Amino acid sequence: MKLNVQRRALLKKSETKKIRYEGNIPAVLYVQGKAVDTLVVNGPEFTALLRSVLPGRLSTTIFTLVDDKGKQRKAIIKEIQYQPTTYAVVHLDFEELCDDVAVRVKVPIEFVGAADCAGIKLGGVLRQVIRTARVRCLPKDIPALFQVDVRDLKLYDTKRLSDVTIPNTIKLLNDPKQVIVVIAKR
C-alpha cells in the first residue's frame, strides 16, 4: 500500500496542532541505528487506506512510504494514537523494514472450520483466548495471518500455539503452551 508522506523538522506543539487542523497526521519513522525521521502523512489518504485493511491485520500490513522527492521506503505501523472522543488518528509510529534486519510483529490468528466443529454442534461455543501471536522474522517472511483448523475439536477441547504450523523462518515469541482457543459449554 502506497502512502505519500512529507518530511518535517522537529516542530513545536503549535505547529503539530496546525498539521492536525489541516487534516494531516504527524508521524515518526524509526530506522534501525539512525535518528528518527519526522513525517507528515496525508490524513484523508491514510484513512482511505485504513478502510481497505481487513480487521485485525494492520500490524502485518506493509506500507510503502513515498516522500516528496520520490524516495520509497517500506515500513510497518508500530503504534497509532487516537483522539479519545472522536477516534480520529492523531499520531503514527512507523518502523522501517530493512531486508537483513528481523522485526517483531503481532500476527493475527484466524479460525477455520467452526461451522463443522463437533463441539459447537453439541452446544459448545468457540472462545478465542488470544487474537495475535508475537513473532520475530525478516520482513520478507512476515505472514499475513495464522490459520487454525478447529473442525476436530470436541466439547472442552483446546488448541495451543504449539499446534499452529509456523515456518522455520519465523521465531515465536509467545509461550508455545499458551491456549489460543477452547470449545466451552454455554
- The predicted-structure confidence for 104-114, as pLDDT tens digits, reads as follows 999 999 999 99
Proportion of the chain above pLDDT 90, given as a percent: 74
pLDDT at 8: 85
pLDDT at 24: 94
**Does residue 131 contact residue 164 with C-beta atoms inside 8 Å?**
no
| Residue 106 to residues 15, 117, 132, 140, Cα–Cα distance (Å) | 33, 27, 6, 15
Q: Quote the mean pLDDT of the chain.
A: 92
Mean pLDDT, residues 44-55 taken together: 91
Proportion of the chain above pLDDT 70, given as a percent: 99
Interatomic CA distance for residues 73 and 63, integer angstroms: 8
pLDDT at 11 over 80: no
Mean pLDDT, residues 53-73 taken together: 90
Burial 86-105 (b: 16+ CB within 10 A, else e): eeebbbbbbbbbeeeeebeb
Q: Is 79 helix (H, G, I), strand (E, B) or coil?
A: strand
- The predicted-structure confidence for 89-145, as pLDDT tens digits, reads as follows 999 999 999 999 999 999 999 999 998 999 999 999 999 999 999 999 999 999 999
CA atoms within 13 A on the CB side of 163: 17
